[in-house]
């Protein structure tokens, strides 16, 4: 049995080719939900959805989000209508009262439907509407995710990190914004002062997550601050990681990041933006998988391979290195 902690790109890339090394039927994936938003009343869970669509063989692997060859008629009409009505585009937050008086799981990241600032495909939207419908009927996010994973024939067990709301908020000189406003609407341009995981102190790890964390854990090459950080901010998850065997794949080659905003976010949180900083952010990690070109000296065991993943074969190679690292420290 093995458990992967996942964001929306690096770890899904690894999972895409890990089947021959880690039996999917004995694999659990715990996804970050700090990036989730409510748009016009429905809950979007970008990191869960990437793994859902990957497992169902429907993921758009050009972007690592959304469903391949999806249409986006509703999204386009929402934009056209807003323009025709002279309604400003960009993230339109619901007012402060609505942020905490609506659906509990969507706290602190509730946006109106007007001019929909995130690109939501039509089939993608059907998933969000079904998820939200089941939540409104009384299911937990864990239960809804299991239902959707069955529908998509996902080969792994897929779990949200918590059934409680946690919102990743980015503090910038221009003010505080949800991660999706920072990343999708502003291309990650605003200067990052600090990162806050609103709700994390009150959120708990579900029994399913606690159970999964008693198995060896793999942190794929995900963003340590905004993909893994929300999980570490939940006491039950951090405590469990201290107890179990953990192998980490670095999302850096020394101080070069493969993609995304990890470098700026790590610097803002006081870590060196590098493999060394990743190791510092993960004091509970027992071993690391680093790229062949990464000369970082760490105080824990290291297995090296080519960690760039563009194909399933690349991912299988990294998965074998993870297996070797796990074998060395278990």
Residues that bind ligand GDP (CB under 6 A): 7-11, 13, 47, 221-223, 227, 249, 251, 257-260, 262, 307-309
* Comparison of 192 and 262: residue with beta carbon closer to ligand GDP: 262
Q: Which is nearer to ligand GDP, 247 or 249 (CB)?
A: 249
Q: Could you write out the DSSP letters of every residue in 187-248? A: TT-SPP-EEEEETTTT--B-HHHHHHTTS-EEE-S--TTTTSHHHHTSHHHHHHHHHS-EEE
Return the number of the residue (115 or 303) whose C-beta is nearest ligand GDP. Answer: 303
- Strand partners for 303: 289
Q: 76-79: long-range contacts (C-beta < 8 A, 24 or more apart)?
A: 78/113, 78/114, 78/115, 78/116, 79/115, 79/116
- The single-letter DSSP state of residue 142 is H
Q: H or E segment at 328?
A: helix 312-329
Shortest distance in whole angstroms from residue 196 CB to ligand GDP? 17
CB of residue 10 to ligand GDP, shortest distance in Å:
3
- 258 and 44 in contact (C-beta within 8 Å)? no
CB of 13 to ligand GDP, least distance (A): 6
To ligand GDP, the closest distance from the beta carbon of 205 in angstroms equals 19
- Considering the complex, state which of residue 7 and residue 155 has its C-beta at the smaller distance from ligand GDP: 7
Q: Which uninterrupted H or E stretch holds 68?
A: none
Question: Least distance to ligand GDP from the beta carbon of 136, Å?
Answer: 26
Cβ at position 85, least distance to ligand GDP in Å: 32
Nearer to ligand GDP, 65 or 78 (CB): 65
* CB count in 10 Å sphere of residue 259: 12
In angstroms, rounded to a whole number, what is the distance separating the alpha carbons of residues 284 and 243? Answer: 8
Q: Which is nearer to ligand GDP, 258 or 284 (CB)?
A: 258
């Amino acid at each position: 049995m093995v458990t992967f902690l996942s964001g929306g790109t690096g770890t899904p890339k690894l999972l895409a080719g890990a089947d021959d090394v880690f039996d999917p039927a004995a694999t659990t994936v715990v996804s970050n939900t700090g990036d989730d938003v409510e748009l016009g009343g429905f809950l979007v869970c970008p990191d869960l959805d990437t793994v859902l669509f990957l497992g169902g063989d429907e993921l758009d692997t050009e972007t690592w989000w959304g469903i391949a060859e999806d249409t986006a008629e509703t999204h386009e009409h929402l934009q056209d209508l807003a323009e025709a009505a002279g309604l400003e585009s960009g993230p339109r937050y619901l007012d402060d009262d609505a942020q905490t008086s609506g659906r509990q799981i969507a706290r602190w990241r509730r946006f109106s439907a007007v001019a929909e600032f995130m690109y939501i495909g039509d089939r993608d939207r059907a998933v969000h509407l079904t998820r939200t419908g089941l939540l409104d009927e009384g299911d937990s996010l864990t239960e809804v995710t299991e239902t959707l994973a069955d529908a998509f024939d996902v080969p792994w067990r897929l779990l949200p990190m918590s059934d409680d709301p946690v919102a990743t908020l980015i503090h910038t000189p221009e003010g505080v914004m949800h991660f999706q406003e920072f990343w999708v609407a502003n291309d990650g341009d605003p200067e990052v002062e600090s990162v806050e995981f609103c709700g994390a102190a009150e959120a708990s790890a579900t029994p399913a997550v606690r159970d999964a964390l008693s198995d060896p854990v793999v942190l794929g090459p995900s963003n340590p601050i905004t993909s893994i950080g929300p999980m570490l901010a939940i006491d039950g998850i951090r405590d469990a990681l201290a107890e179990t065997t953990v192998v980490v794949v670095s999302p850096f080659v020394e101080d070069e990041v493969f993609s995304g905003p990890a470098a700026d976010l790590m610097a803002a949180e006081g870590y060196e933006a590098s493999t060394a900083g990743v190791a510092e952010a993960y004091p509970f990690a027992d071993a690391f998988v680093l790229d062949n070109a990464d000369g970082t000296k760490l105080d824990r065991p290291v297995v090296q391979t080519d960690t760039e993943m563009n194909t399933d074969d690349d991912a299988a190679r990294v998965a074998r290195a993870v297996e070797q690292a796990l074998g060395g420290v278990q």
